[in-house]
Amino acid sequence: MSVSVSTLLPTRTARKRSEVVSQSAFAFLFSEMIQYSQTRVNTADELIAKLEDAGVGVGRRALELACWRERSSKRETRVRGILQFITQALWKSLFGAHADSLQKVQDSDDEFMIVEKEPLVNAFISSAPVNCAAFVAGVVRGVLEAAQFPAEVSAHDNEEGATVLLIKFAPEVLEREKRQA
């Protein structure tokens, strides 16, 4: 039995690009998700893992939806290409604007950083024991895994108050990149 994309994605939902969820609705749902997760963990590390896991599923579905909307047969095969797609097109569809910056870690070939000065997920959370951008790190990891770019993604605060998503690609991604060069 074959399943087409049209049966998986409702036409109304998949085609509309201009519909936006209000920030208050997002803030309410996200804070409820954090509260729910907090009651089911014992440590801050477990909470970070729960937020990342929740984000991975969102990332996989976001990539699928973005690819279906674009309807282009082009698939990103290069590291820079997929990262630019994430920080520009996907970030805009998820958060309403492009990511503030994409940077390569200078002393490492397999690490990149996405810098976001004021992440939407942290805007309405006043006192969480962890950086709630771990959810966004999970979204990025989900997109990368679904696009066949396995990587570890973690969220960190920097000294200027911005959030940095550190992306460390698996060795096989770099090997594939070298073969394509």
CATH of the domain at 64: 3.30.1380.20
For residues 128 and 38, what is the distance between their CA atoms, to the nearest angstrom?
9
- The greatest distance separating any two alpha carbons of the chain, rounded to the nearest whole angstrom, comes to 54
Looking at the structure of the chain, the number of domains it has is: 1
pLDDT of residue 53: 96
Domain hosting 122: range is 23-180
Burial zone of 87 (CB within 10 Å; 0-12 exposed, 13-18 middle, 19+ buried)? buried
pLDDT tens, residue by residue, 2-44:
545 555 555 555 555 556 778 888 889 998 999 899 999 999 9
User: Is there a domain that residue 162 lies in?
Assistant: yes
User: Is there a domain that residue 150 lies in?
Assistant: yes
DSSP 119: -
Which of these, 117, 138, 1, 124, lies nearest to 59 by C-alpha position? 138
